[in-house]
Structure 1
Amino acid sequence: MSFRSDHSALGNVFSLFNALGNLAFAYAGHNVVLEIQAAIPSTPEKPSKGPMWRGVVVAYIVVAACYFPVAIFGYWVFGNLNVGENILIKLNEPAWLIAMANLFVVIHLIGSYQIYAMAVFDMIETLLVRKLKFRPTKFLRFVVRNIYVGHTMFTAITFPFFNNLLGYFGGFAFAPTTCFLPCMIWPTIRNPRRFSFS
C-alpha cells in the first residue's frame, strides 16, 4: 500500500518515516568509514580518531552541499506534487539535458559503487582465498567483482519497486548502528554499577 497520495495524518507520518529511511540509506557511508579508519596509521600519541572525524565531517558537509540544494530547488520548482521516483523519466524535454543527466548518473554510480563495495569485495575474496583455497590472482578478482556487480544489477532490475524498499533498508541499517549497538557497547565499555543512575 502506498501512502504517497494519501494526505491524511497517517499518510504524512508514513511519508516522513519513509523519507528518513531514504536519508539513512543514502548516508550509509558508515560502512566505508570503518574500512578507511582501519587503514589509517594510529598511535597512542596520534590516534586516527582526530583526522578521521575531521574527514567525516567535511565529507558529510560536501555531500549535503551537493544534495540539499537539488532537493530544495526541486521542491521549489515542482512543489509538493507526486513527481515520481525518477524525475529524469518523468520529464520530456529538453532531450539533450535528460540524456546528459542520465550519463552523469551512470558515471557517478560506476565510481561510487566501486568504493562502496570495496569492503564486500575484500570480504568475498578473503573467504575464497582462506576458506576455499583459491589462488589470489587478478583473474579471481576480476571474476568475483563482475559476478557481484552482475548479481546486484540483476537484483535492481528484478525489483522495479526498489525505491519503496529504501525506507525499510535505511531503517534496517540505521537502527542497529544508531540505536541498538551503542546501547549494548556503552555498558560493556563503561561497566556501570547495577541499578545506578548511569
Structure 2
Amino acid sequence: MAIELQKKNESIMEPTHHEVMERGDTGKNLDDDGHENRTGTMITASAHIITTVIGSGVLSLAWAVAQLGWIAGPAVLMAFSVITYFTSALLADCYRSPDPITGNRNNTYMDAVRANLGGMKVKLCGLAQYGMMVGATIGLTITASMSMVAVKRSNCFHKNGHQVDCYTSNYPFMIIFAAFQIILSQIPNFHKLSLLSIVATVMSFTYASIGVGLSVAKVAEKGHHVRTSLTGVTVGIDVSGEEKVWRTFQALGNMAFAYCFSCVLIEIQDTLKSNPPENKVMKKASLIGILATSVFYMLCGCIGYVAFGNDAPGNFLTGFGFYEPFWLIDFANVCVAIHIVGTYQVLSQPIFGFIEDFCAQRWPNSRFIKNNYVIKIPFLDPYYINFFRLVWRTIYVILTTVIAMIFPFFNDFVGLIGAAAFWPLTVYFPIEMYIAQTKIKRYSSRWTWLKLLSWACLIVSIIAAAGSIKGLASELKTYQPFKMKN
C-alpha cells in the first residue's frame, strides 16, 4: 500500500483566532476562541476521568485497608472521595476566567492558576502538576510490566505448582510497554484520545470486577479463615510498632494516589463542547467518574481485605493472592496492561503539549520544530508527522522506562506520588482559585473552613510522603539496579 509523504510547513501549535481570520477561514469549524471545534461530551470526559483514576491504585487498596483496619480504611477512602469531588467542582469553575461560564478559556491547569492567582504560584503549580505526571508515568510503567510478568508467572505456577519460584524479570516487559508507548505517543494531542480512553475505561471495569469476583470466591471457599481487625495489621503479631506507623502513613499515600486526576482535569475540560457550559458538564462527568471509581474502590479494598486479611498483598492481581483459575487471572492482568496503555497517554499528553508549545515559542523559526509532513495513506485520513514531536516524545518514553527499571517499587512509589500531588493539585490550588474568583472575604466563616480543609489535607500529605520515603529507603538498602536473579 503506497504512502505519500509531503511537507506541510505549519506550526505544531494551534493557530490563534487572528491567524485563522488572516488565512480567510470562515470560522465554520472553529470554537469561540478561534481554536478547532471541540467535540468532547460528558461521556468522553467521564471516560478520561475513569481512565485516569481507576488504575494501578485500585490494586493496592486491599493492602491499604489492611494497614488501617475496618474503621479507618473505608472512612479514609470515603473522605478522599468526597474531598476530591468537592475540589474538582471548584476547579471546573476555574476553566473560564473571570466568569465560569462566559469568561476566557484557560486551556491548561497552569493557565487557570495564572488567570486566578498569578505570580510564583504559576511556577509552583507547573512543578507539582508536571512532576506528578512524570512520576505517574514511571509508576504506570512499573505496574504494566508487573501485570505482564504476572501472566507469565501464572502460567508457570499452573504448570509446575505453586511452590516453584517461577521468577521472571520485569525488564523485557518494560521495554515492550515502552515500544507501544513510543508509537501511541505520536497521537497529536489530548483531543484525539477519546477512543483510547473509552477502551481503557472498559478494561478498568473488567479487571476491577474480576478482582472483586475472585475475592468473593475466595471468601466463599470452604474453610476460609483470615485475620482482620478494626485497626488493621496487629502490632506484635504482623508488624512492629514502628512498622505499623510507617505502613499507616504509606497506606494514606496509596489512597491519595487512587484519587489523583485533578492534574489533568482542566485539560480534560478543554476537550468539551462550548454548549452546554463546560463547567456544568465537567461537574457531572466528575461526579459520574468519582462515584463509579469509589464503588469499585470500596469493593476492591474491603472485599480484598476480607479475602486476604492482614496478609493482603501489595497488588492483589500480581501478588498472587489468587492462583486459579489461571486463565482468568491472565485475562485480568492483560486488561490491566491495556488500561495502563491508555492512562499513560492521558497523563503524558499535557507534558508533551507543554514542551512542544514552549519550544515553538522559544524557537519560532526552527524548521525542525515547526515543520509538519503529511503522510497520505489510501482509504484513511492524512496523518501529520512532526520530527521534533517524534524525537522528543520517544526520548521521554525511554527516560521514564529507564527510571522505572532503576526503581521498580510499586507500593512505595505510588504512595509517594499520591502524597506529593494530592494536596497541591487536588486541594490547595482549587480552593485558592475559588477564593480569588468569588472574592470570599478574608476570615469569614466560608474562608476559614476552606482554609482548615486545605491545612488538614496538607498534614495528611506530609505524613503519607514520610511513610513512602521510609519504605523506599528500606527497599533501596538491599536493591541492586538491573541485577538479574540467577
When normalised by structure 1's length, the TM-score is 0.78
Q: Where do 5+ consecutive residues of structure 1 fail to align?
A: none
Relative to structure 1, the CA distance from residue 136 to residue 163 in structure 2 (aligned partners, 3 Å threshold; closer, same or farther) is farther
Counterpart AA for 1:22 = N
The alignment status of 1:61 with 2:287, answered yes or no, reads no
The alignment status of 1:150 with 2:398, answered yes or no, reads yes
- Does structure 2 retain, via aligned residues, the 8 Å contact 1:25–1:171? yes
Q: Which has the higher contact order (CA 8 A, sep 6+)?
A: 1
Quote how far apart the aligned CAs of 1:107 are: 0.7
Q: Where do 5+ consecutive residues of structure 2 fail to align?
A: 1-66, 68-232, 373-384, 448-486
Correspondence for 2:300 = 70
Aligned residue among 441, 449, 470 for 1:192:
441
Distance in 2 (alpha carbons) for counterparts of 1:187 and 1:106: 40
Distance in 1 (alpha carbons) for counterparts of 2:444 and 2:284: 35
Correspondence for 1:113 = 344
- Does structure 1 retain, via aligned residues, the 8 Å contact 2:257–2:417? yes
Work out which of the two has the higher radius of gyration on C-alpha atoms and give 1 or 2.
2
Quote how far apart the aligned CAs of 1:115 are: 1.6
Distance in 1 (alpha carbons) for counterparts of 2:274 and 2:358: 27
Distance in 2 (alpha carbons) for counterparts of 1:196 and 1:64: 32
Q: Residue 277 of structure 2 aligns to a residue in which SS?
A: coil
Quote how far apart the aligned CAs of 1:108 are: 0.9
Quote how far apart the aligned CAs of 1:87 are: 4.2
Alpha-carbon RMSD:
3.0
Distance in 1 (alpha carbons) for counterparts of 2:253 and 2:293: 17
Relative to structure 1, the CA distance from residue 36 to residue 156 in structure 2 (aligned partners, 3 Å threshold; closer, same or farther) is same
The alignment status of 1:135 with 2:367, answered yes or no, reads no
Correspondence for 1:168 = 416
Quote how far apart the aligned CAs of 1:150 are: 2.2
Quote how far apart the aligned CAs of 1:129 are: 2.5
Quote how far apart the aligned CAs of 1:57 are: 0.5
Distance in 2 (alpha carbons) for counterparts of 1:96 and 1:196: 59
Distance in 2 (alpha carbons) for counterparts of 1:68 and 1:188: 35
Correspondence for 2:354 = 123
Correspondence for 1:6 = 239
State the Cα deviation string for residues 29-74 of structure 1 (Å, max 9, x = none).
Answer: 112211122333448xx53211110011101122223333222221
Distance in 2 (alpha carbons) for counterparts of 1:186 and 1:91: 44
Relative to structure 1, the CA distance from residue 82 to residue 48 in structure 2 (aligned partners, 3 Å threshold; closer, same or farther) is closer
Correspondence for 1:84 = 314
Counterpart AA for 1:172 = A
Instruction: Calculate percent identity across the aligned residue pairs.
Output: 31
Distance in 2 (alpha carbons) for counterparts of 1:101 and 1:162: 18
The alignment status of 1:99 with 2:348, answered yes or no, reads no
The alignment status of 1:37 with 2:285, answered yes or no, reads no
Structure 1 or 2: more strand by fraction: 2
Relative to structure 1, the CA distance from residue 93 to residue 142 in structure 2 (aligned partners, 3 Å threshold; closer, same or farther) is same
Of 52-61 and 84-93, more deviation after overlay is shown by: 84-93
- Does structure 2 retain, via aligned residues, the 8 Å contact 1:32–1:116? yes
Counterpart AA for 2:318 = L
Q: Residue 79 of structure 1 aligns to a residue in which SS?
A: helix
Correspondence for 1:27 = 259
- Does structure 2 retain, via aligned residues, the 8 Å contact 1:129–1:136? no
Q: Residue 370 of structure 2 aligns to a residue in which SS?
A: coil
Of 32-41 and 56-65, more deviation after overlay is shown by: 32-41
How many residues of Structure 1 are paired with residues of Structure 2 in the alignment? 192
- Does structure 2 retain, via aligned residues, the 8 Å contact 1:156–1:162? no
Distance in 2 (alpha carbons) for counterparts of 1:151 and 1:86: 28
Q: Residue 125 of structure 1 aligns to a residue in which SS?
A: helix
Distance in 2 (alpha carbons) for counterparts of 1:76 and 1:136: 57
Structure 1 or 2: more helix by fraction: 1
Quote how far apart the aligned CAs of 1:185 are: 3.8
When normalised by structure 2's length, the TM-score is 0.35
- Does structure 2 retain, via aligned residues, the 8 Å contact 1:121–1:145? yes
Q: Residue 269 of structure 2 aligns to a residue in which SS?
A: helix
State the Cα deviation string for residues 146-176 of structure 1 (Å, max 9, x = none).
Answer: 3222222222221022421322221211122
